[in-house]
Amino acid sequence: SNQLGPIYGHTSVTAGSLLDDHHWHSVVIERQGRSINLTLDRSAQHFRTNGEFDYLDLDYEITFGGIPFSGKPSSSSRKNFKGCMESINYNGVNITDLARRKKLEPSNVGNLSFSCVEPYTVPVFFNATSYLEVPGQAGQDLFSVSFQFRTWNPNGLLLFSYFSENLGTIEIDLAESRVGVHINVTQTRMSQIDIAS
């Protein structure tokens, strides 16, 4: 802000989209006075901080990946980062290497492992005649399904199930490159619900 406080000093900038794609992304933040350079995957943004001060009075600690649960209270409700970071550099010092060699003084390292295990996933390829059928669960109030898919085809059936006792069907499909959810309940006035995205 400024010495008296009436000037709003908060500055917030966002960059990128769909960064949860399990690929490495590079972030570089450089600050000189009120001038900031933010570079994400070689795409740079230049901006100036609000307020009048150009001296950044950092606290006595900087944490990467989140904050300790016993640390200072924060107005942010964000969860700690879950994933992998590499080549963490702060003012020219390789923090990652120092932490791995236990040469970071003083340091507070919380439950880190110095490896990045790839998640174990098994993709399944479907051709025009293949399918994967699993037993349903009768008498359940909750229906929850999640999956990732990729295809070059704009149309295809992704999921289908009959309700028990012939009370209807549920279908998730790809039609003209849009995902659609179709719920057909035979014993209600609103017999079909269609959701497209």
Instruction: Give residue-wise pLDDT tens across range 175-184.
Output: 999 999 998 8
The predicted pLDDT at position 89 comes to 92
85: left (phi over 0), alpha (psi -120 to 50) or beta: beta
Confidence of residue 138 (pLDDT cuts 50, 70, 90): confident
Q: Where are the domains of the chain?
A: 122-196
* pLDDT for 161 beyond 70: yes
Q: Are 164 and 138 spatial neighbours (Cβ–Cβ below 8 Å)? A: yes
Integer CA distances (angstroms), 197 to 117, 134, 182, in order: 33, 26, 12
Spatial separation of the C-alpha atoms in residues 123 and 42, rounded to whole Å: 31
Spatial separation of the C-alpha atoms in residues 56 and 49, rounded to whole Å: 11
Chain centroid, CA 78 distance in Å: 12
The predicted pLDDT at position 73 comes to 53
- Residue 162's nearest CA partner among 132, 145, 182 is 182
The predicted pLDDT at position 6 comes to 65
Confidence of residue 144 (pLDDT cuts 50, 70, 90): confident
Spatial separation of the C-alpha atoms in residues 12 and 179, rounded to whole Å: 34
Confidence of residue 122 (pLDDT cuts 50, 70, 90): confident
pLDDT, the chain, mean: 82
* pLDDT for 69 beyond 80: no
* pLDDT for 74 beyond 60: no
